[in-house]
Amino acid sequence: MACLLSAAECFAKHVAACLPVAERGQGWWSMSCPIGRHGPPLRLHVGDRVHITYADLGKCPESEIYKWLIGKGIPAGCLKKPKDWPAAERSRQFGTEDGQLADAVLAEAFGEGTTTERLIRVVVLALGEVPEGPMCDVLADRLGLKRRIIYQATAEMRRKR
């Protein structure tokens, strides 16, 4: 996650004030490459999608530049992710059932019906059971609806059981 500064403020605080850079015009700043010992410079710029973008004109690996910039105190969330950076793995803490529930909730949330009907179906999925009898009364009361609305919104779920 990027810092709370604007992109320009972030660049000024983390790059212009802390690294041995020289302004080159049109928003680009330049310094000798800290990774390779070659002639072409490392260029840094205020980004539009991330706070700080960079390009090593000597073609050093972006991941090496990225690690060096982080080591110099630039927040990782403010930097452009390198193209050769490994893709983030999905968390293993969630099982298949969690994924199925999330898919079902999203399908109902963006599915057919009025906003109220979709909300009711999402609540019912979160409860894990289709409300009947007194539970229907409690749900209707908490949502400020008539019991009939709850039954209509969950009719399809009732048929699937």
Q: How far apart are CA 42 and CA 30, in angstroms?
A: 6
Strand order in the sheet with 41-46: 22-25, 28-32, 41-46, 52-56
Query: Once rounded to an integer, what is the mean pLDDT over residues 57-85?
Result: 88
Most confident of 75-79, 85-89, 107-111: 75-79
Task: Please report which confidence band the pLDDT of residue 59 belongs to, taking 50, 70 and 90 as the band edges.
Answer: confident
Average pLDDT over residues 89-102: 66
The answer to whether 10 touches 2, Cβ cutoff 8 Å, is: yes
> CB–CB of 89/15 below 8 Å?
no
CA dihedral 29, 34, 38, 39 (to 10 degrees): 20
Quick check: is 87 in a domain? Answer: no
Domain co-membership, 74 together with 100: no
Q: What is the DSSP letter of 145?
A: -
Read off the pLDDT band of 52 (50, 70, 90): very high
Q: Is residue 14 part of a domain?
A: yes
99-129 pLDDT, tens per residue? 777 788 888 888 888 888 888 888 888 878 8
Q: What is the DSSP string of 4-60?
A: SS-HHHHHIIIIITTS--EEEETTEEEEE-SSS-SSSEEEEEE-SSSSEEEEETT--
Tell me the average pLDDT of the chain.
83
Q: What is the pLDDT, as a whole number, of residue 88? A: 60
Same domain, 112 and 139: yes
The β-bridge relationship of strands 41-46 and 22-25 is unpaired
Q: Are residues 104 and 149 in the same domain?
A: yes
Query: Pick the residue with more confidence: 129 or 96?
Result: 129
43 forms bridges with which residues in the sheet? 30, 55
Domain holding 114, by residue range, is 96-160
* Residue where a domain terminates, one of 50, 78, 106: 78
Same domain, 13 and 66: yes
Task: Dump pLDDT digits (tens) for 14-50.
Answer: 898 989 999 988 889 999 988 877 778 999 999 888 8
The number of folded domains in the chain is: 2
Domain identity same for 57 and 115: no
Residue 146 structure tokens: 């008539």
Residue 83: inside a domain: no
User: What confidence score (pLDDT) does residue 46 get?
Assistant: 92
Per-residue pLDDT at 95 exceeds 70: no
The mean per-residue pLDDT over the stretch 133-154 comes to 84
Same domain, 105 and 133: yes
pLDDT at site 91 = 54
